[in-house]
C-alpha cells in the first residue's frame, strides 16, 4: 500500500504543447487535477538516494543574456508536482516527464515492454522503428527509486525540449517498471537534471548535452514554481539563463559541496524566533524539484511540526524513552558527552557488527527508539543552552512526543489555525529564507473533508550519504532557484 502511495504524488494531469516564438522563447504547458491526501503523503520523497560523490567549490557571479533564454512553461498540479512534455525521435514522439534535479537519467517506457508489465503498457511508449534518427545501443540497466525500480536498455535519439533539439541523446527505454506505483502514475518518465556523477551507466545527461552542443549561451537553468493553484501558468524552467520577472532582489549563491545531487551546506533552522539547534554547525541539503514536500531527519522534523502545532501518531515508544532514559540523557549532556554519542552510550542506537539474528519487528523497534532518543538529545541540548529547568524540559519533551510523525512521515494541521502559526526559517549562505504557514501547509479536499498537511516530512537517510535535507517544491515554490553548472553553485531569491 505504501508503494502505491509513494507514486500517487506523480499522478498529475496530461500536458499540452504550445510554442511561443517571441524573443526565442519556447513554452510547454501542463494541466492539473485536484490534490488528494495520498498525493501529499507520498510526495515526501520519490527516490532512494544512493550516491555519494566529491564536490568542487566556486563563487563567481552569474550573468546572462535574456535573448538567449529557452523557456519551458509549467502549470501547477495543485502544489503536488510540476511536469512538462518532451519529444523523442524524428518525427517527435511526445512524453510527459518530471523535470527532476534529484536524478540524472532520462527514461521513458518502451514499446518492448514485458508482456505482463501493466505499468509500462498503460503509458506512452517509445517506438524506435518510427524514428529516422534512432541509433541502437542495447546496454541493459536498472535504476532504483523510492517507489520501485525500473529496468530496460539504453538507446540513442534526438530529444526535443521546448524549442531545443538535443541530438543523439542517450536515454533509457524502460521495459519493466517494478512496482504497482507506476501503474497508477500519470507521468510517463523522468527527465533528470542532476550531475553525470549519479547517472546510471554514466550516460551524459540531457542538460550536459544542451551545453555541449551549444544550444544555450549560459551554463545555467532556473526554476520558477507558481504555488497559485488557480493560475493559468504553473511555473517555468528557463534553460540558458533566468527570467528577471520571476524573482525579487538579488540571488544568494551557495557552492555545490558534493557533485552528484545539487547539494549544498545549510545553516540553522528556526521555528518562529526559536532555534531548533540541529543545524547550527551546518547540515547537508539538496535542492530537489522532484520531491513535493520538504524532508529532513525525524529528530528535527518532529520539533518543527511540534512548533507549528502539527500532530502525528502519539508514540508510546517516545514516552517510554523520556520516562526511562530521560534522566540519563540529561546527565550525559551535562557531563559534556558529545551529543552524537549519547544514544549509543545508553544502548538505544547500536551500529556496526551485531551478534545473533534480529527479527524484522525487533529491528524496526530498535530503529524507532533510536530516532526518538536522537530527537530527545537535540531537544535537551538546545534547552540546556537556554538554561531551562529540567522539569520544564521534560514536560515539553513529553508534549513533543505527541508530534512524532506517523509511519508515512506526515503530520496533520488544524486548518482553522493556519493564520496563527509561526514562520519556519532556513539559513542558507548566511541569509534567512522563511516559509510562511500559507507556503508550508498543503490542503486537500473541500468543505467538511478538507485536510491540512504539514509540508515538513520525516525522512532518515543513513550515512554516508545522509543525514540529508531535501528541499523540494514546498521550498522552491517560495524561492526562485538558479542551477549554475558552469560555476557549480545554486542561487536562491524570493519569488516575484
Q: Which CATH number, 1.10.645.10, 2.40.70.10, 2.60.260.20, 2.130.10.10, labels domain 244-301+408-495?
A: 2.40.70.10
Predicted pLDDT at 310: 84
Query: How are beta strands 83-88 and 93-100 bridged, if at all?
Result: antiparallel
What is the structure's pLDDT at 66?
A: 38
CA–CA–CA angle 281, 266, 37 (5° rounding): 125
pLDDT score for 396: 85
- Could you tell me how many residues make up the chain? 496
pLDDT digits (tens, 9 = 90+) for 61-96: 233 343 334 767 664 555 556 778 899 999 999 998
Which residues are marked as active site? 100, 288
Instruction: Give the mean model confidence (pLDDT) for residues 441-452.
Output: 74
Is 435 within 8 Å of 494 (Cβ atoms)?
Answer: no
Q: Per-residue pLDDT for 141 more than 60?
A: yes
d(CA 153, CA 142): 8
Diameter of the chain by CA atoms? 74
CA atoms within 13 A on the CB side of 444: 18
Spell out the domain ranges in the chain. Answer: 26-52+77-225, 244-301+408-495, 316-349+368-401
- pLDDT 10s digits, 201-214: 999 999 999 999 99
The pTM assigned to this predicted structure is: 0.75
Mean pLDDT of 423-442: 96
Confidence of residue 285 (pLDDT cuts 50, 70, 90): very high
Cβ(165)–Cβ(158) below 8 Å: yes
Average predicted confidence (pLDDT) for the chain: 79
**What would the grid cell of residue 278 be?**
540541529
- 373: Cβ contacts below 8 Å, ≥ 6 apart: 321, 325, 329, 342, 343, 346, 348, 349
pLDDT of residue 315: 55
27-50 b/e with 16+ CB inside 10 Å = b?
bbbbbbeebbbbbbbbbbbbbebe
At residue 376, the pLDDT reads 87
Cis peptide leading into residue 467 (ω within 30°): yes
* The pLDDT of residue 233 is above 90: no
- In this structure, whether the domain defined by 26-52+77-225 belongs to CATH 3.30.70.260 is answered with no
> Which stretch of DSSP H or E encloses residue 214?
none
Report the share of the chain in percent with pLDDT over 90: 43
Give the Cα separation of 269 and 275 in Å (integer).
Answer: 6
Weakest mean pLDDT among 142-146, 148-152, 252-256, 287-291: 142-146
Mean pLDDT, rounded, for 409-419? 82
End-to-end CA, the chain? 39
- 26-52+77-225 and 244-301+408-495 share one fold: yes
Give CB contacts under 8 A, 24+ apart, made by 419-422.
421/308, 421/309, 422/271, 422/272, 422/307, 422/308
The DSSP code for 237 is E
Residue 148: other Cβ atoms inside 10 A = 17
Question: Looking at the predicted structure, is the pLDDT value of residue 329 above 70?
Answer: yes
pLDDT band, very low/low/confident/very high, at 20 (cuts 50, 70, 90) = very low
Tens of pLDDT along 249-258? 999 999 999 9
Q: What is the pLDDT of residue 353?
A: 37
Amino acid at each position: 500500500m505504501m508503494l502505491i502511495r509513494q507514486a500517487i504524488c506523480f499522478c498529475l494531469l496530461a500536458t499540452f504543447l504550445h510554442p511561443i516564438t517571441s524573443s526565442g522563447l519556447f513554452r510547454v504547458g501542463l494541466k492539473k487535477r485536484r490534490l488528494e491526501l495520498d498525493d501529499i503523503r507520498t510526495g515526501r520523497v520519490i527516490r532512494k538516494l544512493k550516491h555519494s560523490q566529491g564536490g568542487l567549490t566556486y563563487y563567481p557571479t552569474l550573468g546572462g543574456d535574456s535573448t538567449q533564454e529557452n523557456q519551458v512553461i509549467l502549470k501547477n498540479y495543485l502544489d503536488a508536482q510540476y511536469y512538462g512534455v518532451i519529444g523523442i525521435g524524428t518525427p517527435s514522439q511526445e512524453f510527459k516527464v518530471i523535470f527532476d534535479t534529484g536524478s540524472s537519467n532520462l527514461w521513458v517506457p518502451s514499446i518492448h515492454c514485458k508482456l505482463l508489465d501493466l505499468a509500462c503498457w498503460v503509458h506512452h511508449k517509445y517506438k524506435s522503428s518510427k524514428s529516422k534518427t534512432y541509433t541502437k545501443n542495447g546496454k541493459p540497466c536498472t535504476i532504483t527509486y523510492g517507489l520501485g525500480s525500473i529496468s530496460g536498455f539504453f538507446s540513442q535519439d534526438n530529444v526535443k525540449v521546448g524549442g531545443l533539439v538535443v541530438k543523439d541523446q542517450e536515454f533509457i527505454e524502460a521495459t519493466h517498471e517494478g512496482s504497482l506505483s507506476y501503474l497508477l502514475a500519470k507521468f510517463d518518465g523522468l527527465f533528470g537534471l542532476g550531475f553525470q556523477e549519479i547517472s546510471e551507466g554514466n550516460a551524459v545527461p540531457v542538460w550536459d548535452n544542451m551545453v555541449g552542443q551549444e544550444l544555450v549561451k549560459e551554463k545555467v537553468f532556473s526554476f520558477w514554481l507558481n504555488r497559485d493553484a488557480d493560475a493559468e501558468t504553473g511555473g517555468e524552467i528557463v534553460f540558458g539563463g533566468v527570467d528577471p520577472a520571476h524573482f525579487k532582489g538579488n540571488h544568494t549563491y551557495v557552492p555545490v559541496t558534493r557533485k552528484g545531487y545539487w547539494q549544498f551546506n545549510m545553516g540553522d533552522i528556526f521555528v518562529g524566533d526559536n532555534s531548533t539547534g540541529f543545524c547550527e554547525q551546518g547540515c547537508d541539503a539538496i535542492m530537489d524539484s522532484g520531491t513535493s514536500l520538504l524532508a529532513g531527519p525525524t529528530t528535527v522534523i518532529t520539533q518543527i511540526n511540534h512548533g507549528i502545532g502539527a500532530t502525528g501518531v502519539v508514540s508510546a515508544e517516545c514516552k517510554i524513552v523520556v520516562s526511562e532514559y530521560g534522566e540519563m540523557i540529561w546527565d550525559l549532556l551535562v557531563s559534556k558527552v558529545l551529543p552524537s554519542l549519547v544514544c549509543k552510550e545508553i544502548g538505544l542506537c547500536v551500529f556496526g557488527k551485531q551478534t545473533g539474528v534480529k527479527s524484522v519487528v525487533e529491528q524496526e523497534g530498535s530503529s524507532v527508539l533510536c530516532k526518538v532518543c536522537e530527537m530527545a538529545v537535540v531537544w535537551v541540548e538546545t534547552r540546556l543552552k537556554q538554561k531551562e529547568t529540567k522539569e520544564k524540559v521534560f514536560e515539553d519533551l513529553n508534549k513533543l512526543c505527541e508530534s512524532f510523525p506517523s509511519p508515512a512521515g506526515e503530520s496533520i494541521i488544524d486548518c482553522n489555525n493556519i493564520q496563527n502559526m509561526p514562520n519556519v526559517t532556513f539559513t542558507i549562505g548566511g541569509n534567512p529564507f522563511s516559509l510562511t504557514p500559507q507556503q508550508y501547509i498543503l490542503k486537500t479536499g473541500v468543505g467538511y473533508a478538507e485536510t491540512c498537511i504539514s509540508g515538513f516530512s520525516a525522512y532518515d537517510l543513513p550515512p554516508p550519504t545522509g543525514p540529508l535535507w531535501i528541499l523540494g517544491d514546498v521550498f522552491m515554490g517560495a524561492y526562485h532557484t538558479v542551477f549554475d553548472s558552469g560555476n557549480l553553485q545554486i542561487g536562491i531569491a524570493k519569488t516575484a
